[in-house]
Each structure stands twice: as C-alpha cells, then as structure tokens.
Amino acid sequence: MKVRGPLIATVVLAGLVGALYWSNHHKPAENAEAAATTSPTILSVQPADISKVEVKDKGSEAVALARSGDTWQITAPQPLPADQDSVNSLLSSVHPLNSVELVDEKAADLSQYGLANPTVEVDLTEKGNKTQQLLIGDETPTGTDLYAKLENDPRVFTIASYSKSSLDKGMDDLRDKRLITADSAKISRLELQAGQQNIVFGRNQDHAQWEIVKPRPLRTDNLQVDDLVRTLTDARMELTGGNDQKQNASAFASATPVATAKLSTGSGTEELQVRKKKDDYYARSSVVSGVYKVSSDLGQGLNKKLEDFREKKLFDFGYNGPEKVEFRDGAKTSFLTKGGSDWWSGDGKKLQMAPAESFVDQLRDLSANKFADSGFAAPSIEITVTSDKGKRIEKVGIAKQGNQYLAKRADGPSLYVLDKSSVEDLQKAAADVKPEAPPKTQ
C-alpha cells in the first residue's frame, strides 16, 4: 500500500510531461497554419518582370508607365521622364503584397467592400503580356486597413493603409523632378551669371580640380565650386500645392533675375535660370519645358560673388605636410626641416615637436578675410614652404598696412587681406619654436 501512492503520482506526472511536450511542439505549427490561412499573400511579382504599370485613382487622371531597357518612362497622361527611384519603390510594394487577413473566400457583393467601383486600381503587365489587376476599395470599419482583391480572384482581403500609400501614386509623384540632369562627375565647364558678374569655372582633364577661368585666372576654392555644382544638380521642381504653368510663367516674367547657370559635359550644355518674386523662387530649365517653383535654398545657393569662390588660404600644401620651412621676420630668419618624424633647425639641432607642429598648423590655416586691389609694399615677413617631395615651392610675402596686413604669393598678383591677430599669432608661434633641451648628464 505504501508503494502504490508514489507509483500513481509518477504515472500522472509522466502523462503531464508528455502532454506539455506535445503541446509545445505542435502549437507553433498550428499557429503558423492559422496565420497562413488568415494572412495570405495577395500578389507577388518580380519587379524585373514588369514591363508596364498603370495606376488609376478615382479622383485623378490615370498614370501609365512603360519600361525601356532599365529605364522607366511616363507614357500617360503625357510623355515625361520618370523618377526611377520612385517607380522602383512602387514596384517593390508588390514583391510581395501581403494581406492583413482574408475576410471573404468568395465575395458575392463587391459593393459592400467598395470594390465594385474601386478607389485605386493598379494594373501590372509582365513578360509575355500576363496582366494582374489589383483593386483597392473602402476602409474597414476600424479605419486602419482597406479592402483589396485581384480582379480574377474571388477572395477579398484587407491590406494595411501604408500599402495603399505606396501604390497610389500620381504623375507628380512619379515624374523626374530634376531641373539639371548632367552627371556632376562629368561636368567640365560651369558658367555662373549672378548679378553683374559672369564667372566661368573649368575643370582639369582628370576632373580633380576646378579653376576660375573668367574674369581672369585665379586660385580657386574647390570645396565652394563643388558645393555650387551640388546645389545645381540637386535642384528640383516643387509640385506640391498645384502647378499652374500660366501663373508660374507670369510670375517668372516679372520676377527679378537671381542667377543663370550653364553646365557643360561631353554630351552638351544644360541651362538653369532662377528668378525671385517676393519670397518665392522660380526656375526655367533647358532640360524640361515649363516654369516651376523651387526652394529658397537653390536661389540663395546661386546668389554668389566671385570672392566666394576664390581660395583664401595662403598655402596649398594641405595635410600632406611640408618638408622644409623658411621664415624670415625682419632681421630674424628661422629654418625648419623635416627628418623622419622630427623637426630640425638649420644648424642641425632637434626642435621641440609640439611648438614646431603648432607653427606648421598656423601656416596651413593662414587665410585671408577678403582681397585687395592695391597697397602691397615691401614685405616685412617672407615665408617659403617646400612640400610634395620638393615639387611644390610656395613663397609668400606679408606687408603691414595700417591695422591689417597684406599678403602676396610669388605666383600671382592677388593680394590677400589678413587680420592683424592672425599674423601676430603666426609670429608668436614661430618664436616658440626652440631646440630640445640637451639631456642631463649623470
């Protein structure tokens, strides 16, 4: 009698363990089967297999697109270049298009779902002229999802509202909004007419450096010209809130010119004109017909002067670092020569590293705040910097003029206006360069 109780408990416990094991190993499969039944895939088409798309919205004109090679074009309601990224985003929405749930296996009355006269219809034509027609109807009572079905499928599903948003695209959503289509890497010449100035930039054969060609050859701030190119190639038409061409053309005709830019590549030249009326900017491009509103960033980005594009730094050696520096300030002359990782004086003494590097940094950053046309006298400071393994030798003279200084490079007539403080900081940095203290003897 004493053994019987524990034996029964053991049998009961084994049964419970077995039931728990079976439950844990069969529930996921059952849940997966249930999920597959309630949330099946409505449509799955490879974007690469689609050759035509037509989006029909009850409230606007239908938009049709066709593929030519790897490029999409809008064919209706009027022929226009398409924004490739926008079209590809639309196509990715049907690979796959998943439902939230299946609501009707065989709908007898489509009007109760808003599918007898759908709000949106998306027609896809695949290779071999196989077609798929997706219908999107009313919102569900909760307002979070929408009813949808395929034309040749009796089932009705619900889809998430974001699925409709990704598919319901109009012509303005899908058209190419660029006003300049030139490849920025291939632009070899850029002309900017802003105000009374006409500036021409040329790029060397390897497209690495820009130079000011007109009104005269000048040292050029490549970062500023690159930023101008980026501003132009990023220019987009603003289509939100309507696009009344007559109104835009009238505003453009009476607006004040801001700038005209011409960008040339090996395949031709594109032109963009920008004008301002009150607080609005308008643009006309040679790439696309019509006049369009554009962002104020574009207008402000083109309203530049010649001085904005001139190189204001006195030295070009950059972060490659010089190999030799000669600094004459009045009667005192200092020499710095780089040997390995150390700096050495003209008489062969090793220099303190931190002050020497600080002095070189001051030379690297020495910049003008503006330019002058005349007034340069005999220099009181002369600097010669050798870099690029002796291939680049830069000579700069600095002369005091009142409360400021004028600097002049030996390779050009340009006069650079320097703040008094920047020259005084340079003189102090030069004076701080000293030999290392000799090691103490034991």
* Tens digits of pLDDT across the chain (442 residues): 444 555 454 544 455 444 444 444 443 334 334 434 467 999 999 999 999 999 999 989 999 999 999 999 999 999 999 999 999 999 999 999 999 999 999 999 999 999 999 999 999 999 889 999 999 999 999 999 999 999 999 999 999 999 999 999 999 999 999 999 999 999 999 999 998 999 999 998 777 899 999 999 999 999 999 999 999 999 999 997 667 899 999 999 999 999 999 999 999 999 999 999 999 999 999 999 999 999 999 999 999 999 999 999 999 999 888 999 999 999 999 999 999 999 999 999 999 999 999 999 999 999 999 999 999 999 999 999 999 999 999 999 999 998 899 999 999 999 999 999 999 999 999 999 999 988 777 6
Place of tokens 């830069």: 394
Report pTM: 0.82
pLDDT at position 7 is 47
For residues 47 and 91, what is the distance between their CA atoms, to the nearest angstrom?
Answer: 6
Question: Tokens 């402000």 belong to which residue?
Answer: 300
pLDDT of residue 19: 46
pLDDT of residue 27: 37
Instruction: Decide: 368 and 378 in contact? Cβ < 8 Å.
Output: no
Sheet with 291-294, edge to edge strand ranges: 210-214, 197-203, 189-194, 256-265, 268-277, 280-285, 291-294
Residue pair 135/146 in contact (Cβ under 8 Å)? The answer is: no
Peptide bond into 96 cis (omega under 30): yes
Torsion angle, alpha carbons of 388, 389, 391, 393, to 10: 70
How far is Cα 405 from Cα 417, in angstroms, rounded to an integer?
6
Integer angstrom CA distances of residue 432 from 262, 354, 425: 50, 10, 11
CA distance 182 to 45: 33
